[in-house]
Structure formats: structure tokens, C-alpha cells
Amino acid sequence: MNRTVAKEDLDSRIFNAINIILLCICTVIIVVPLWNVVISSLSSGKALAEGGFIFWSPEFSLENYRAVFQDETIGLAFVVSLAKTFIGVITHVFFCAMIGYGLSKKYIRGRKLYVAMGVITMFFSGGMIPTYLLIKSLGLLNSFWVYIIPALFSYYDVVILMNFFRNVPDSLEESAKIDGAGDWRIFLKIFIPLSMPAMATIALFNGVGQWNDFMTTKLYITDQSLYPLQMKLYEIIVQSQTQSMQNVGGSAIIETTTKGVQLATIVITTLPIVVMYPILQRYFISGMMMGAVKE
Amino acid sequence: MDKTAVVPVNGKSPMSTKKPMGQRVKEFVIDYKRQWEIQSMVIPGIIFMIIFCFIPIYGLTIAFKSYTVIDTLDSAPWVGLENFRIILSDKYFWDAVVNTLGISFLKLAIGFVIPIILSIMIYELSGGRFKKIVQTISYLPHFLSWIVLGGMLIAWFSSSGMFNEILLSLGLISKPVNILLDANKYWWIATLSDIWKEAGWGTILYLAIMSKIDPTYYEAAKIDGASRMRQIWNITLPNMKPIISLNLILTVSGLLGSNLDQTLVLMNSQNRVKAEVINSYVYRMGMTQGDFSYATAVGLGVSIVSVILLISANKVSSKLNDNQSVL
């Protein structure tokens, strides 16, 4: 008996050791490149041109960030990104909650048809070109509202909120009805405050999506003053790519200036996500689980 | 007391199938009017779906038309299957199909297995701080946008970047190379960068399923002297079989899809031959060259094939899983 315990222990210990070593390698593979970007963005142009560093820069400088902050278009892009994220998240969550609340009532007439329509939107779409033609005919091209209006609705989020509203005891609604409250009042005063955790989860995911969204701009916006950060960053990347291809072995100065600006913009674009990440992490596992419990 | 008597406003009249049609319509209208407040919450969503989902689906008809910029959706002349006939002989389209399938199969072969292995490794950790740190770090890249990651990749792979420095110090190369300009390496870059970004995130669902496995199985196996690898093989993996096959079906049906953000940011004039995928081809034909009808036809054709793939993958897996359909 004693021997088998010892053997099992040894097997377990070897397993644990290998497991921990492999997972350490995995985290290093993720962390080191990210660290390298931060360090590079804080390096001087000379250090970037010479390159050859991984963990620590030979010469630190804030010149990249100074260049970014002097560029007014990047500041404007930051404002556009913030505005579209805030307005987009609030309107999206409210719109989905409103529909989800309506659909959570089993007695609502036409419910079967509404649900069928919603399910169809989850599986079928017109695709890129028909959607573009629609946006164009609605006059939303080169309008700030193209970030907000088409992003109002997601049937997936509606289902999550609908399931959440279902779990609220009926007695709350009934007693409010007896006191003479209408559906809107009950929704706004009772159900919205009660479902804050579910709405926060959806808001966080939607917010990351809005902040990271780039295709909407690429497809529908040509007016530079409406570019969000992601699009601005994309332009900088394309610009520096063409430059580095054009002067292979040529002037290093132009190349490193755009590279420095590119790195600093990357860090600034990612910073809000990293700041929000601890809050995100608290919510996303419960969010995944909510999505898994469907009708 | 009867519930409906307390809340008569919401009470749906008991519906009997024997009632005549006229009366049923009348009841519906009365109920609907009584529910106007709750209906007013749903109606905006219905209008939204009609405008932003169903009109574009109707717009797919331009795939069978010859649509030019001056036309409206209805004035464009019908051309039948002409656009689809052009697809069959379009060399650039088939190049894009080859690239799409190449990248998708690499992602399937490597990117599908890694999250499973990673989630088992995390599950086997005894818990505590290390587990938390590993999870926190591995989920993080998921929240970076592809534009940000693209910019990072370009910086890492540039001739003075980190990647070249590592290869140089390991003695694998003698001169810095920019592999983003090497078309033959593009499939690998697309696959591996996608795995770097999404592998950690992919473990969440698996870990959630594993946390529901009854721990007494492991205790029993331990008493029987089963090694840790054996426990994984005979307890953990069988319990994950349903979710793995569901994921596999979804992956197979997405073989013809690819990540447009990733392609747009990583593609350049040097690697275009290997980087152009179906999505980016639709984008180029439609948005850059303005050939709306043709681009829509390509998109529609690909979606139809994807649906066929989904159905057949589901059939195959239900055969393998003792006729129990996963979907």
C-alpha cells in the first residue's frame, strides 16, 4: 500500500512539474512580445533604428509620444472612439433590454413571429455589399450615426437579457400592476435596476467591440474627421509598411519616425482596454455562461 | 384566487382552435390593443430587423442582376446565373479559395487542438495564484483588435525588430529578414498569430464544462492507481466530447470564412498572392472596383457552400456520436 502511494505521488509530481513549466513558457510567449512593444514605444529613434533589443531599451525617450500628442488628428480620433463607444454602448444596451423585456412576457401577442424573426437574423445576413447599399440609401455614409444605429440591436444580447428578466419573480410585476404602474414604468423602475449585472456584462463586451471596430469605418466612412483610433492606426501602419518597402536599405530616419509613432499609437489605443481588463475579467465568465443558457 | 383575475390587463384570452377565424382575429386585435404598452417595446426591434436584416437579405437578389452605380435595386436588369458562371472561370477567385482553405486547414489542425490541451493543463493546476495569473494573461490578447495586433506583428517582424533579434542570437539566420514580405510564410503567420490571440480565450468554454465533471470520478481513478495522463484520457476527454464535436462542426462550417480585419492589416503588395482570401476578394471586387453584383454573387455562393458544409458536418458527427445530433 505504502509503495503505491509513493509511486502515485512521484507520477503526480513529475506531471505537475512539466505542466507548470509548459504553462510558464506559454505565458512568456504572450507577455514578452507585449512587453517588447511597450519598451519599444518608449525608445528613441536611434535605438529603434538599430533595434536588437528584447527586454530593455538601450535609450529611453518620450519623443514618440510627443509626436503622437502633437498630431491633432490622433487626438480627434481618440475623441471619436470615446464618443462612439459611450453612445454606442448605452443605446445598444437600452435597446436590447427594452426588446428583451417585451419578449420575456409569455403572453405578448405575436411572440412566436418575433422570436422566429430574431432567430433568422442570427443565422442569415445580406452580407457586405447589400448592407453597404442599404447604408448608402439610408444616407448614413460619412455620418457619425453609422457607428451607432446599425449596432443598436443584437438578437443574441436580447436573448441573454430576456432570460435574465424571466428569472425575476412574477410577484414583483404583479404587485406593481396592482399599484397601477404601467409596463414602461415597471421596466424602467424595477427591471432595469434589478438586471444591472447582466446589462454590465453586455455593455462591457459591446464596449470592447465598439472600441476595436474597424470595418465599419473602412466600409462606410471616408471623412477623415470621423476616423476613430483604430482606423487612424491602420492608416499609420499602411503608411509605414509602404515606406519600409520603398526604401529597403535606404534612409532609416523616415522609417523609424513612423515606426515610433505607430508603436506609441498602438499603446495608446490599447491602454483603455488594459485599464478596463480587471473589470472585464470579473464579468466575462458569467457572461459566457449566460449565453450558454438559451431557451 | 385565479392569477388572471388579479392581472386582467395581461391575461391572454383562452384560445380554442375550434373558434371561427373571424373571432380569432378579433380577439387578437383586442389583445394587441390591450398590450399596446408592452408591444411598443418590441416594435422598434421588429422595425430594426426588417430594415437592417431583411432588406439586405432581399438585396442579395443583385447577385442575379447586372447592377451598376446608376441603378437602383429594382431597376437593374436580371441576368440569371451569369455572375455565377463568371465565378467558375475567375482565376483570382480560385486563388483566393486556395488561400482561404489553406489558412483554414492550418487553423483547424493546430488552432483547434491547442485550446483543448491548454484548458486541460490549466484544469490540472491545483489552483491558487499561479492558475489565476496564467488565466489572466492568456485571455488578454483576445481583447486586442486585429489592427493593434497587426501593428505589433509588423513591429516584431521588422528587420530591426524582436523576432529577428531572437533568430539572430539563436544563430538560425545570419541576416535580418522581414518575413511579412515573404509570401510563402504568410499562411503560417496568419495561423500562428490567430492562435496567439485566441487560444487562451478558447479555453474558457472548455474550463467551464470541465468544472462540472464529478470529482468522485478522479478520486475513484486515483484509488485504482490511474496515472494523471490516464485520468485525463479516460475521464476528462470523454466528458468534453460533446462540446468538442460541437466546436468542430462550427469550425468546419466556417472553413470558407476568414478574418477580414486580419487579412486587411497583414496583406501587402509582396504577399498578396498568398494572402488574398475570399472575404478580402469580395471586399476588393465590391468596394474597391465597384462590381457590386459580382461581389455579392461570390459572397452568396460561398455562404451556400458553408451551409452545406454545416449540415454535412452535423450529419457525419451524429453518425459518429451514435446518431445523437449535436446541433
Per-residue pLDDT tens over the stretch A210-268: 999 999 999 999 999 999 999 999 998 888 877 766 655 545 555 557 788 889 999 99
A32 closest CA partner among B204, B152, B195, B172: B152
The residue type at B212: K
CA–CA gap between residue B12 and residue B4 (Å, rounded): 8
Residues 207-226 of B with CB under 8 A from A: 208, 222, 225
Among A184, A269, A270, beta carbon nearest to B37: A184
Residues 258-317 of B with CB under 8 A from A: 260-261, 264-265, 268-270, 282-283, 286-287, 292, 295-296, 299-300, 303
pLDDT digits (tens, 9 = 90+) for B303-321: 999 889 888 888 888 887 7
pLDDT confidence of residue B11: 44
pLDDT digits (tens, 9 = 90+) for B58-95: 999 889 988 877 777 677 788 888 889 999 899 999 99
pLDDT confidence of residue B318: 81
Given a cut of 50, is residue B2 above it in pLDDT?
no
The torsion angle over the Cα atoms of residues B140, B142, B146 and B147, rounded to 10 degrees, is -30
CA distances from A128 to A132, B117, B265 (A): 6, 36, 18
Q: Is there a contact between A101 and A191 (Cβ–Cβ < 8 Å)?
A: yes
Given a cut of 50, is residue A148 above it in pLDDT?
yes
In order, the DSSP letters of A24-66 are HHHHHHHHHHHHHHHHHHTB-HHHHHH---SSS-SSB-SHHHH
**What average pLDDT does range A147-174 have in this prediction?**
91
Q: How much is the mean pLDDT over chain A?
A: 86
CA–CA gap between residue A239 and residue A235 (Å, rounded): 6
pLDDT confidence of residue B5: 40
Among A31, A127, A263, beta carbon nearest to B300: A127
Given a cut of 80, is residue B146 above it in pLDDT?
yes
- Paired strand residues for B65: B78
Among A101, A132, A245, beta carbon nearest to B181: A245
The CATH number that domain A63-293 falls under is 1.10.3720.10
**Choosing among B139, B228, B236, B246, which should be mutated to test the A contact, i.e. which has the most A CBs within 10 A?**
B228
A102 and B55 within 8 Å at the Cβ level: the answer is no
Q: Is there a contact between B263 and B102 (Cβ–Cβ < 8 Å)?
A: no
**Residue extents of the structural domains in chain A:** 63-293
pLDDT confidence of residue B7: 42
Residues 165-204 of B with CB under 8 A from A: 165-166, 168, 176, 178, 181, 196, 200, 204
Task: Give the chain A residue nearest B263 (alpha carbons).
Answer: A215
Q: Kindly calculate the radius of gyration of chain B based on its CA atoms and give it in whole angstroms.
A: 27
In order, the DSSP letters of B198-239 are HHHHHHHHHHHHHTTS-HHHHHHHHHTT--HHHHIIIIIHHH
> Å from A283 to nearest chain B CA?
13
pLDDT confidence of residue B264: 92
Given a cut of 70, is residue B281 above it in pLDDT?
yes
pLDDT confidence of residue B167: 87
**What average pLDDT does range B29-36 have in this prediction?**
85
Q: Is there a contact between B181 and B268 (Cβ–Cβ < 8 Å)?
A: yes
Contacting residues of A for B133, CB less than 8 Å apart: 27
Residue B109, chain A, CB below 8 Å: the answer is: no
Residues 255-294 of A with CB under 8 A from B: 259, 262-263, 265-266, 269-270, 273-274, 277, 280-281, 284-285, 288-289, 292
**What average pLDDT does range B110-134 have in this prediction?**
91
Residues 6+ apart with CB under 8 A from B253: B306, B307, B309, B310, B313
Residue A159, chain B, CB below 8 Å: the answer is: no
Query: A112-121, B70-79, B147-156: lowest mean pLDDT where?
Result: B70-79
Angle at the Cα of B297 from the Cα atoms of B293 and B303, rounded to 5 degrees:
145
B265 and A237 within 8 Å at the Cβ level: the answer is yes
Q: What percent of chain B has pLDDT over 90?
A: 44
**B144: confidence class by pLDDT, cuts 50, 70, 90:** very high
ipTM of the complex: 0.88
Given a cut of 70, is residue A286 above it in pLDDT?
no
Size of interface A-B (CB pairs under 8 A): 275
CA–CA gap between residue A213 and residue A222 (Å, rounded): 15
